[in-house]
Structure 1
Amino acid sequence: MKCLRIYATPDGESHFDEIEIPTSQVRVHHAATPFDVSASYPADRVRFTSIPAGMKQVDWHTVPGRELTVRLNGSVEYETSDGEVRKVEAGEFVLVEDTHGKGHLSRHSPGPQLVLWISLTNGLDDPK
């Protein structure tokens, strides 16, 4: 399972990466078809954000900790300090890890949006 990642290098510049979240086939019920499931990852907290309609761009900013964001509706364009831009649609998720440096820009779609923020203790590095 692919996950977009935003991270900062030691010099404070932000960049994109794509990481693979390992999964395995799991049958949750004897009559169910197996499907892909990842390991469990420890989380500190979960927050829901309601972004109002009309919010256009959030200036350069970082995140306070490693956050897995899940866009429930709407879309956003992220721009990293190296000038690369990626669009994230509803149903997609992003691991945001640029906790220092210049950060990233966020350009939101015109309608209201709901975003789920999951603060991951160890990012996606250490499943339990």
Structure 2
Amino acid sequence: MKCLRIYATPDGESHFDEVELPTTKRQVHPDAVPFDVTGNYPASRVRITHIPAGMREVAWHTVPEPVLTIRLDGSVEYETSDGEVRHVPAGSFVLVEDTHGKGHLSRHSPDAQTVIWVSLPNGLELPPV
């Protein structure tokens, strides 16, 4: 399973890449067909945010800690300091790890949005088994 990632290099510039999340087929209920499930990632906090309609662009900013954002509705366009732009529709998730440097821009769709923020102190590093 792929996850879009925003990160900063030591020089403070932000970039995109994609992280491959390892999955295994699991049957989570006796009557269910097995499906792909990732490992368990330690999380320290979960926030649910409502971004009001009409909030368009958020200036260059960083995040205080690595967060996995899960967009329930609306969409956003992210721009990194290297000039690359990615459109993220509803139903997508993004690992945002640019905790230092210039940061990224967020351009929101004109509609109101609901986003779940999961703080991941170790990013998407799986703990040792």
TM-score w.r.t. structure 1 length?
A: 0.98
C-alpha distance in 2 between matches for 1:5 and 1:59: 19
Task: For structure 1, list consecutive stretches of 5 or more residues without a partner in the other structure.
Answer: none
In structure 2, the residue matched to 1:122 is: 122
Alignment of 1:1-128 (within 5 A): 1-127=1-127
Q: Write the letter of the residue equivalent to 1:120.
A: L
User: Where do 5+ consecutive residues of structure 2 fail to align?
Assistant: none
Secondary structure of the structure 2 residue equivalent to 1:43: coil
Pick the structure with more strand per residue: 1
Give the total of aligned pairs: 128
RMSD: 0.8
- Separation in 2, partners of 1:62, 1:8: 9
Q: Distance in 2 between matches of 1:87 and 1:95?
A: 14
Question: Which residue identity does 1:81 align to in structure 2?
Answer: S
Equivalent-residue separation in structure 2 for 1:77 and 1:97 (angstroms): 16
Residue by residue, what CA displacement relative to the aligned partner does 1:1-49 show, whole Å, maximum 9, x if unpaired?
1000000000000000001010000011222100000001000000011
TM-score w.r.t. the length of structure 2 is: 0.97
Structure-2 separation of matches of 1:11 and 1:109: 30
